[in-house]
Structure formats: C-alpha cells, structure tokens
Amino acid sequence: MDDNKKILQVKSYEEALEKIFIKEQVRDYSLERVRKLYENMGFPLDGIKCIHIAGTNGKGSTCQMIFSILKQAHKKVALFTSPHLVDLRERFQSNEGYIEKDEFVSILNYILKFGVSLSFFELCTLIAFEFFRRKKVEYAIVEVGFGGLLDSTNIINPHITAITSIGYDHMDFLGNTLEEISYQKAGIIKPGIPIIYNHKNEIIEKIAYEKGAFLIFAGEKETNLLGAYQKKNSGIAYEIAKYLGIQENIIKTGLMQVNHLGRLQYITKNLLIDGAHNEDGLKELKKYIDTLRKNFETIVLCFALKKGKNIDIILKIFGEQDFFVIVDSANTFMLEASENIQKSLLSLGKSGTILSPDEIYLLSQKNKKTLYLAFGSLYMIGEFLRF
C-alpha cells in the first residue's frame, strides 16, 4: 500500500453498508489476495476449531443445525453463512446473536487499514474471521459461498469438513457437469482432515483418498426443519457433532431446535416462503408442496429470478400449475426485471401477474383456502419476513 494513500474510515453502520455493497466490482477468482491479507491480519483463526461446509443445496441448513447443537452443548461458537435475507449481520452470528453494529464498523475499519481491494464476499469472509477471533470462540462454522476450491473461505485449516448434496448451480463458474462441480466442491478436502458426505460421489472419494482424508458417510436424522430432504442434512450435522464429542441427547435436542430463516417457513397459515432456486432445490420443494394440495383449493406460485437464471427449470418442475405470480421485488440490483419474466412466461404459453410482496400478503389474508408460495430467490423472500 502507498504510505501516502489515505484510507477513509467509516463512521457508522449505515456508512459501512454503503462501503461494503460497492465491493462486488472487484473480482479475482484466486485465493492469493485474501490469503495474503489473512496472514497480515495475524491468522485470526489460529486456535479455533473450524467446521467447513460446502455443497449445492443444504449447506446453510446444515450449518444452522451444527450451530444449534453446539449452542445446546454450551460451547462458544460462531457462524459465517450466506446470503442474508434482511440484515447483512445475519451472516455473522455467535452465541449472543448477530454481530453488533459498532463491532461490524470496528472490524471493517480494521480491515480497510490494510488498503487491499477486495470483493464483497472476500471482505465478508475476513470480517467473519476477525469477528470469530474477537469473540474468542472455540468453534467456528464456515459456510462456503459457492464452489469450494477457489472460494475465499478455503484459506482456513479446518478441524472437520462436510459436503452436502451436489447439483447444477453456478455452472458459469463451476462447470457444466456434475463431475466438474464435484471437483470444485471437493476442493475443501484437506490432508488428514475428516470429510463427511451423504451421497455416493466418486470425485469426493477419489480426492479424499489421494489426500488421506478420512471419509464418514452420513445417514438421516430427525430435525424440526420441514422437508424430507432436511433429514439428510441433519445426518451430516449429527456426524459432525458426534466427531466433536457432543453427547447423543444434546445432539438430538439441538437438531429439534434449529432456526433457519426462509427455508419452508410459514409467514401465515397460507403464505409459505422457501429459498429454492436451482433444479434440485425446486424438485424437493415440489415434493413438499404436493403433500399440501389436499389442504388447499388452489396453490399460487409467487417467484422471482436472479439475473441470469432461466425460467425453463421452474416450468419444467411446476409446469402444470395454472397460477403464476411474478414478485415485483425491491431488489432490482440482483433480480431479473419482473416485466422480462412476464414476457418469458408469455412466450412459453403461460401467463403471470406482477404483484408486490405487500399485495401477495393482502391476498393471502383474503383467500384463506389458497396457498401462496414465494420462492425462487433468497434475495426476494426476505421481503416477506416483515409481515
């Protein structure tokens, strides 16, 4: 850094948000920059047992399950997860809750002093690691952003790793085949460190063997989270907790007290939100919705799409549905314009009404025999949490 270059510090949480949300323009898909800064920060995770979780679907739920178990066991634990639904601070949690606003500002200013240009996610990653150090936690749960091999979280030396389900997502970065995607996810596997998984995968097994990483296959366990697929995620969390030496009764209690915003979450009795946005996630969502059809006269699909996402996959899975609503989200930066989605629907022989979250909520209050399902983007469903 140029000694004459003045690093502007932020003075408030609101100013910090403005600073951090312009960071996405700085992108560099290697770990050199973030690893070097991590070293300059004095290796903030030294002495902390890190649990590193990758996967296409289920990694966030699995992280929340482990978080619940370790809190139940009265361990000092912190969590870094993404994305957030309402408040950026959701990404940084400890036993005490979300990171405090003044602490966030303090850590951001500390990192900015190094004068290194970082992407949004790189900056969030390092904020999390410094947060863990300041909280003096025993355990840190770290969720991969996407992929694994080149994800900025992959600079850590984990105590244990896990890979949840693998499917098609972020293919422009991770590859077009499950083999290529699996290779990226398996990038978190470290020599001699246990790796837990719950599905047959030759790539994971091959890389684990080459690195001398001990493979642990997870079964299914009960959890309070809705959706049959959550039992698979719960199985991974169970095996991690067992490896950490947590007692069986504490594990079971923790798995029944998981709080995960936006995953099959009922806002009202007939307004349901879910973060499903890729093929595997949407298929699991449909399985759950099919179990509800007997309880409602009509099901209305309310969805949004992240920019670059194709509507075809939604029609492939929910194509027989007659009622589509395009959610007119306030998050125009990340999401495709509602009008463009409506045109795409029309070109495929379907119609869709554009409604705001407020309008959808009001309709759900009037039509109690109709289920309104909001899904398709985690960036959108957070808008329903204020109801």
Superfamily of domain 265-386, CATH level 4:
Mur ligase, C-terminal domain (3.90.190.20)
Q: Can you give the pLDDT at residue 6?
A: 59
- The pLDDT assigned to 169 comes to 84
**Rounded alpha-carbon distances, angstroms, from residue 93 to 99, 129, 216, 344, 361:** 6, 11, 27, 39, 29
Compute the distance between CA of residue 375 and CA of residue 381 in angstroms, rounded to an integer: 6
Residues 93, 78: contact at Cβ < 8 Å?
Answer: yes
Region 176-186: mean pLDDT is 95
Q: Which two tokens stand for residue 85?
A: 């639904």
Report how far residue 358's alpha carbon sits from residue 384's, in angstroms, rounded to the nearest whole number: 8
In this predicted structure, what is the pLDDT of residue 246?
99
Q: Looking at the predicted structure, is the pLDDT value of residue 188 above 60?
A: yes
**pLDDT tens-place string over residues 5-21:** 556 799 999 999 999 88
- The reported pLDDT for the residue numbered 1 is 45
Residue 171: the pLDDT is 81
How many whole angstroms separate alpha carbon 82 and alpha carbon 347?
34
CA-CA distance, 268 to 283, in Å (whole number)? 23
pLDDT at 308: 83
pLDDT digits 0-9 by tens, 330-368: 887 889 999 999 999 999 889 999 999 999 999 999 999
pLDDT tens profile 222-278: 999 999 999 999 999 999 999 999 999 999 999 999 999 999 999 999 999 999 999
The pLDDT value given to residue 323 = 87
The pLDDT value recorded for residue 8 is 76
The predicted pLDDT at position 22 comes to 74
User: 299 - beta bridge partners?
Assistant: 371
Q: How far apart are CA 146 and CA 172, in angstroms?
A: 12
Q: Cβ atoms within 10 A of the Cβ of 121, count?
A: 20
Number of Cβ atoms within 10 Å of the Cβ of 66: 30
**pLDDT confidence band for 2 (50 / 70 / 90):** very low
For residue 384, the model assigns a pLDDT of 97
Closest CA to 316 of 265, 343, 280, 352: 280
Those residues with Cβ within 8 angstroms of residue 309's Cβ, 6 or more apart along the chain or in another chain: 277, 336, 376, 377
By the 8 A CB rule, do 241 and 348 touch? Answer: no
The set of long-range contacts for 151-154, using a CB threshold of 8 Å and a minimum separation of 24, is: 151/54, 151/187, 151/188, 152/31, 152/34, 152/119, 152/121, 152/122, 152/125, 153/52, 153/80, 153/125, 154/31, 154/52, 154/187, 154/188
| Model pLDDT, residue 301 | 96
Q: Is the bond preceding 83 in cis, omega lying within 30 degrees of 0?
A: yes
Q: pLDDT at position 330, please?
A: 85
Question: For the chain, what are the domain ranges?
Answer: 13-255, 265-386
Per-residue pLDDT of 155-178, as tens digits, reads 999 999 999 999 998 788 899 999
Architecture label for domain 13-255: 3-Layer(aba) Sandwich (3.40)
- Residue 313's identity, in one-letter code, is I
Joined together, the tokens standing for residue 371 give: 């289920």
The yes-or-no verdict on residue 26 having pLDDT over 70 is no
Q: What is the pTM of this model?
A: 0.95
Q: Is the pLDDT of residue 136 over 80?
A: yes
Residues 123, 127, 131: CA angle, nearest 5 degrees: 170
β-pair partners for 162: 53, 196
User: Residue 133 pLDDT > 60, yes or no?
Assistant: yes
Query: Would residue 116 be called left, alpha or beta, if left means φ above 0 and alpha means ψ between -120 and 50 degrees?
Result: beta
Instruction: Quick: pLDDT tens for 84-127.
Output: 999 999 999 999 999 999 999 999 999 999 999 999 999 999 99
CA 8 to each of CA 102, 113, 118, 121, 188: distance values in angstroms, whole numbers, following the listed order? 17, 8, 15, 20, 35
